[in-house]
Structure 1
Amino acid sequence: MGPIEAALSTGYRAELHERLGSTNDEAMRRAREGDPGRLWIIARQQEQGRGRHGRNWVSPPGNLYASLLLVEPAPAGVAPQLGFVAGAALHRSVAGLIGPASAGLSLKWPNDLLLDGAKCAGILVEGVSWPGAGLRAVVIGMGVNLAHHPETALYPATDLAVRGFAVSVEDAAAALVRNMAAAIELWNRGAGFAAIRADWLARAGGVGGPVRVRLPGGERRGVFKGLAEDGSLLLDEGGVVAAIRAGDVFLGADGSAVGAGARSETHEGAGL
């Protein structure tokens, strides 16, 4: 079953394109044109891919680039939780594709997926608003490094092929479509976020260990204590626990056990 069939079986729609500028941009365009949502935009190649803070990244053929358009999915205050919904679904999807090697998979706050400490997938959540009407739609973009990864990146990166897994775009997209539908149903417009939060934490890396958070005003170091009820990172700075809503996170004593190369966005950001 391919992604289009998988989407239809879960009450969604899907389009598979050979090439697009950006799957997120295309989904946002559809939202502004009045698309009812529950639509997957999937591409084999992107020409204008972007990540958090407008960072560019290479989007060659062979990787998965997918964006889900949801129209009025929840009140604006809880819409950022969709990053964690997507993270849990992304972990389940890749774990199902690589089997026993999934023991090396972990989620990095707020929404990167690591394989043995290097990034193999990530998420970019963006909102579409109308003047005077507030949040109208949310676009959840996900990229999975199936066959390629950047050699030069902000953090170490990897892909599934270099680890010995031959995964097609179609199979990866179908798995993501199915798992995302289940996670959105569990989330239930925010009513089920406690269950999503617990699921995310069970798959997270670095909990209880040292972490460095890069913020606009400098860096903060401490111990990653988990997630607050709203999804903020809890940072224990010598007995004082702070809730961090946005930042670049570096796990480990040297702050290097993280990855990049797909998509990434902060919890508070995402244009919501």
Structure 2
Amino acid sequence: MDFSAAAQRSGFTIENHQTIGSTNDRALDYLRTGGASRHFVIADEQTGGRGRLGRVWVSKPGNLYASLALIDPAPQAHAFQLGFVAAMVVYDTLRAAGLDGAHLSLKWPNDVLVEGKKISGILLEGLSLPGGHQGVVIGCGINIAHHPSDTLYPVTDLKSAGVITSPFEVFGHFSASFEKWLAVYRGGEGFGDIREHWLSFAHGVGGLIVVKDRKEKKVGIFAGLDREGRLLLDQNGQIEPVIVGDVFFRDS
């Protein structure tokens, strides 16, 4: 199928592969070799897809696998905020595809949940470019026709949630949503608006959570986000900002 018309309507260029190792790897190579900003790499199937913290992302045909290559999309120290931008993109994409917003929520830092089950994955990667520029790749996978098993969290897909659609149709919503939310973000100046929207759909604010990284586990109340997007963890009245980790929800 020709995805280019949808991409061009939203101001992007695109390349489409039947099979590829990783759309993120290809997008990084594209930037490394002088490619321009706002370029999508999409694939029907990935043989080496990956998620956050080096996890394998199962990528069989039937779902959407897309990576967006950008140049200088945010101040380097705040590039992680693009994960919130991408989460809003996926949220809007799923709504446009037909999912009821009452069943959707967002989990820090950039997961989108359907009735508490993960339906997408987002991976940010960057590289330094000549002239002091910064390249960033935003990789997104959306489960449309199927989802993997043996995962860290419960997972689902659009078909299981009662929405019958295709990667082609979903990408049309996806590219239009990216155009919208990158304009809201405005290179970082609009993160306050992104943060406000994200929090309005956030799962578990005010509840007890566990935050795990590779070294330790912390338990506390999810007190919101700071102005930069760090999770605020309330541990007996002491507020600690968290910038990396996996969040698990617990009954209070």
Normalising TM by the smaller chain, what interval? over 0.9
2: CA distance, partners of 1:4 / 1:169: 13
In the alignment, is the contact (CA less than 8 A) between 2:51 and 2:121 conserved in 1?
no
Q: Deviations over 1:28-87 (max 9, x none)?
A: 010001001210111111110011221112111001100000012232122221111111
Q: How does 1:1-272 map to 2 (within 5 A)?
A: 3-99=3-99, 101-130=100-129, 136-253=134-251
**1:263 corresponding residue in structure 2:** none
The CA deviation at 1:226 is 0.9
The CA deviation at 1:201 is 0.8
Q: Which amino acid aligns with 2:128?
A: S
The CA deviation at 1:240 is 1.2
In the alignment, is the contact (CA less than 8 A) between 2:71 and 2:133 conserved in 1?
no
In the alignment, is the contact (CA less than 8 A) between 2:52 and 2:122 conserved in 1?
no
Question: Which runs of 5 or more residues in structure 2 are unaligned?
Answer: none
Q: Which amino acid aligns with 1:108?
A: K
The CA deviation at 1:136 is 2.2
1: CA distance, partners of 2:2 / 2:173: 9
Q: Which amino acid aligns with 1:125?
A: L
In the alignment, is the contact (CA less than 8 A) between 1:19 and 1:43 conserved in 2?
yes
1: CA distance, partners of 2:132 / 2:231: 26
Give the fraction of aligned pairs with identical amino acids, expressed as a percent: 44
The CA deviation at 1:251 is 1.6
Q: Which amino acid aligns with 2:149?
A: E
Aligned length: 252
In the alignment, is the contact (CA less than 8 A) between 1:118 and 1:155 conserved in 2?
yes
The CA deviation at 1:199 is 0.9
Indicate the larger mover: 245-254 or 107-116: 245-254
1: CA distance, partners of 2:133 / 2:112: 27
The CA deviation at 1:165 is 1.3
In the alignment, is the contact (CA less than 8 A) between 1:76 and 1:135 conserved in 2?
no
1: CA distance, partners of 2:93 / 2:229: 21
Q: Deviations over 1:184-209 (max 9, x none)?
A: 01100001110011011111111111
Question: Which runs of 5 or more residues in structure 1 are unaligned?
Answer: 255-272
SS of equivalent residue, structure 1 residue 177? helix
Indicate the larger mover: 52-61 or 168-177: 52-61
Larger RCO (alpha carbons 8 Å, 6+ apart): 1
In the alignment, is the contact (CA less than 8 A) between 1:228 and 1:243 conserved in 2?
yes
In the alignment, is the contact (CA less than 8 A) between 2:118 and 2:156 conserved in 1?
yes
Q: Deviations over 1:125-159 (max 9, x none)?
A: 100125x8655200000000101111111111111
1: CA distance, partners of 2:46 / 2:25: 11
TM-score, structure 2 normalization: 0.95
1: CA distance, partners of 2:225 / 2:234: 12
Structure 1 runs (4+) deviating above 3 angstroms are 132-135
SS of equivalent residue, structure 1 residue 44? strand
The CA deviation at 1:253 is 2.2
Indicate the larger mover: 162-171 or 20-29: 162-171
1: CA distance, partners of 2:102 / 2:193: 22
SS of equivalent residue, structure 1 residue 205? coil
SS of equivalent residue, structure 1 residue 235? strand
SS of equivalent residue, structure 1 residue 128? strand
1: CA distance, partners of 2:127 / 2:244: 20
